Amino acid sequence: EADAALSARFGGPEGVYLPERGVELTTMMRELGATSGGDAVVKILETESPTSILRFGLESDLEGILRYPSTSVSCDCDAVALGVVSHPRGYGTFPRVLGRYARDRGVLTLEEAVQKMSGLPATTLGMLDRGFIAVGMSADLVVFDPETVIDHATFEDPSVPSTGIRHVMVNGSFAWRDGELTGMRAGRTLRRPAAHPARPLKVDEPRSVSFEGFVTLEGDASRTQFELAFEVQQDVQSAAAIGSLVATDEEGRTLFSSAKFGLLQVQGDWASFSLRVSDEEGLERGGYLVVDGADPMNHKGGATVVIALEGSDEIVGNSDGLLVVG
């Protein structure tokens, strides 16, 4: 049965590597005097339970999957101490795609490869302020040389750094600068609220959203309200959305208004856009706004409104205002 499984899943014992020993299963077959790959597996498991790296699939299939429009480039690698990885994907996944599959083989264009590492996975995972370079977005940036970027990690030495990555910024701070770690740890845990749905990537078509109404703050016993009105649109060729936004309190005083818009995203009765706003004192802050006319967690009816601005708690409210998503 072990031989049948090895053959069906991994093309035989040649598809199994034991990283803790630094050898192929075929080498262990010879050392143990095993009659087959399955026999070697049984002999090994009699005394230990080592980690294994299993190779399977065809390169042509991998290239086809990479080309599929909804395929993101990702890695299920853990965040570990420098030099402590057991698989070459830990240091090599993204440089390998950029260098081998985009530049050298032409399986993807450079632009497609970058999108599959940034905007596409961000929208698939429901992120709103990451994955794009735009006003109001978090500054998660990578500066690399497309002519030299490539992976060097191998199964035998999985901790060899890639080349061609010059700078990495996380939340606006340099984590990697001029090819060296800075020691900055600006990352933080990201949790997805209900108003951040997984959605298809839509940046190749014109889109718009408008809203006008009073927003009642969630969990506020006094039912504090503010009036919100905005009209935002973005063309296919435009790097940023345009429009207007203003929020006023119950006495008509301006709480904040739009200074500049970033990226507009829409899906069904849901829309979000990044922006910088200016408050009544002229202070500008970046962030994003969400309006969801079909929030499954909203049992009051109407639309859920979420406003997240840097330096302040998230504002969540409900509104019966007029929402139009196009």
Mean pLDDT of 36-46: 93
For residue range 99-126, list pLDDT tens digits in order.
999 999 999 999 999 999 999 999 999 9
What's the DSSP call for residue 133? -
In one-letter notation, the amino acid at residue 320 is D
Q: What is the pLDDT of residue 167?
A: 98
Cα dihedral value 292, 294, 297, 298, nearest 10: 80
Q: What is the rounded average pLDDT of the residues 162-166?
A: 97
SS3 269: coil
With beta carbons less than 8 A apart as the criterion, state whether 162 and 146 touch: no
Q: Is the pLDDT of residue 221 over 60?
A: no
In Å, what is the CA distance from 66 to each residue of 70, 108, 238?
Answer: 9, 8, 27
Tell me the whole-structure pTM to 2 decimals. Answer: 0.86
Average pLDDT of the chain to the nearest whole number = 92
Shortest CA distance to 211 belongs to which of 321, 304, 315? 321
**Residue 46 CB contacts under 8 Å (≥ 6 apart), including other chains:** none
For residue 2, what pLDDT band results from cuts at 50, 70 and 90? confident
Mean pLDDT of 207-229: 87
Cβ atoms of 122 and 156 closer than 8 Å: no
* Residues in contact with 30: Cβ distance below 8 Å, sequence separation at least 6, in sequence order: none
For range 21-50, the mean pLDDT = 92
pLDDT value at residue 135? 96
Angle CA 163–156–50, to nearest 5: 135
Top pLDDT among 237 and 132 is at 132
What confidence score (pLDDT) does residue 30 get?
Answer: 94
pLDDT at 6 over 80: yes
Q: Which H helix or E strand runs over 9? A: helix 2-10
Residue 225 sits at φ, ψ, to 5 deg, of: -125, 155
Query: According to the model, what pLDDT value does residue 56 have?
Result: 82
**pLDDT single digits (tens) 42-53:** 999 999 998 888
Cα–Cα distance, 197 to 289 (Å, whole number) = 14
pLDDT recorded at residue 83: 65
> CB neighbours (10 Å) of residue 39?
16
> Using one digit for the tens of pLDDT, what is the confidence trace for 222-278?
568 999 999 999 999 899 999 999 999 988 999 999 889 999 999 999 999 999 999
Q: Which two tokens stand for residue 163?
A: 């080349």
* pLDDT above 90 (res 38): yes
Res 55 pLDDT > 60: yes
* Residue 140 · residue 169 · CB < 8 Å: yes
What is the tens place of the pLDDT at every residue in 69-91? Answer: 999 999 988 777 766 777 888 88
Q: What is the pLDDT of residue 24?
A: 92
Mean pLDDT to the nearest integer, 13-25: 90
Q: Domain limits of the chain?
A: 2-54, 59-181, 207-325
Cross-strand pairs, 321:
none
